Amino acid sequence: MLYREIGKTGIQASVVGLGAWAMGGGGFWDGADDDHEAASAIRFALDHGINLIDTAPGYGDGKSERLVGEVLSGYDRSKLVISTKCGIIWWGSEGGYMHTVNGVRYYRNLEPHSIRHEVEQSLKRLRVDYIDVLFTHWPSLESFPTPIEKTMRCLLALKEEGLIKAIGASNVDLDQIKEYMDAGQLDVTQPPYSMLNRGIEGEYTAYCMANNIGLFAYSPLEQGLLTGKITMDYVPKAGTYRADYLSWYQPQNRRQVLDMLAGWSDLSQKYEASLAQLVIAWTVAQPGVTHALCGARKRRHVEENIKGGALRIAREDLARMRGDVERLKPI
């Protein structure tokens, strides 16, 4: 496993992190929850090179954090990198309304008093006395705006108090990153990024590199589509993330992706790697991308993802893969 520093914090994290969103369960995901299997996946990750675990209070209304905390309590805390988030609440209605999932209304609130309450609750659920990386989960909404400078003052205070070690912002654009930087040091961002979703390439990644800001790419496997294991016969369940948010799962787009992946069979043989491993290795080789958060609920998926963090792909093969990706034309 390759390890990289998060920004200029001195924190060394595995380039492949375990994303624990799906472990929170809920209506976004296909299949039944299996907490025992999820706990086994976390333990396998920690025992085989992954030290970065990313979760959030909003993943299952605290369930993901609780599950992660139960497993991590048996490990050396000093060797773990725990990443969680703040800014989304469901226990009250103070904030900008975001959405309703399974009858629960979620609000965005980045006011300092709300962030502090969230951090207190996250520390309890995770069973730790500090958080390595705290991300603002989403920007505030116009219906309940909080200036970034005000949010940043709170985050800097939490860092000064030793409750968090690094400051991150998720789902932010370049202008918002610059606002964070005007108010203090932003250590890392967490945008969606994959071969099929490369919107951050260019000014965003260049700014992060120039300012020593780490980048945790989430959904690098596009919810499993880039593993090659999702066939044309698969039908996403209505109401799930795949069905409602990912246009590449539409049949006409999915066919293009599967044909591209099938064309990489020689690369799989050359590197003795699965398609998922090739995709992960390609992702963390892209300029500005420092880490990839790979979601998993099963041990076998974690085992496969780990190997992608140790794979090195030759420059000419990286270029070939990019060329194939850029020829895709979503309909």
263 located within any domain: no
Percent of the chain with pLDDT over 70: 98
21 located within any domain: yes
What is the domain-level CATH number for residue 69?
3.20.20.100
> Collapsing DSSP states into helix, strand and coil, what is residue 103?
coil
**Rounded mean pLDDT of 305-322?**
97
Dist. CA 256–CA 184, nearest whole Å: 43
Dist. CA 261–CA 328, nearest whole Å: 11
Q: Please determine, for residue 71, whether its predicted confidence score (pLDDT) is greater than 90.
A: yes
Dist. CA 249–CA 70, nearest whole Å: 34
Q: Residue 102 has what pLDDT?
A: 85
For 72-95, how does the pLDDT look when each residue is reduced to its tens digit (9 = 90+)? 998 999 999 999 999 999 999 999
pLDDT range class, residue 236, cuts 50, 70, 90: confident
Percent of the chain with pLDDT over 90: 91
110 located within any domain: yes
Q: Residue 201 has what pLDDT?
A: 98
162 located within any domain: yes
Q: Could you give the number of structural domains in the chain?
A: 1
**Could you tell me the pTM of the whole model?**
0.95
Q: Residue 30 has what pLDDT?
A: 61
Chain centre to alpha carbon of residue 289: 12
291 located within any domain: yes
306 located within any domain: yes
Q: Residue 27 has what pLDDT?
A: 59
**Is residue 180 annotated as part of the catalytic site, yes or no?**
no
Which residues form the domain of 172? 3-223+286-313
- Tell me the DSSP string of 154-191: HHHHHHHTTSEEEEEEES--HHHHHHHHHHS---EEE-
264 located within any domain: no
Q: Please determine, for residue 33, whether its predicted confidence score (pLDDT) is greater than 90.
A: no
- Looking at residue 276, its amino acid is A
**Rounded mean pLDDT of 308-314?**
97
Structure tokens at 232: 């044309």
107 located within any domain: yes
- Half-sphere exposure (Cβ direction) of 90: Cα atoms closer than 13 Å: 17
Q: Please determine, for residue 162, whether its predicted confidence score (pLDDT) is greater than 80.
A: yes
Q: Residue 25 has what pLDDT?
A: 78
**Rounded mean pLDDT of 230-235?**
92
Q: Please determine, for residue 28, whether its predicted confidence score (pLDDT) is greater than 70.
A: no
Provide the Cα torsion 193, 223, 283, 297; round to 10°: 120
Q: Which of 59, 180, 193, 271 is catalytic?
A: 59
Dist. CA 169–CA 214, nearest whole Å: 11
| b (16+ CB within 10 A) / e for 54-76 | bbbbbbbbbbbbbbbbebbeeee
Q: Residue 199 has what pLDDT?
A: 96
Q: Residue 243 has what pLDDT?
A: 83
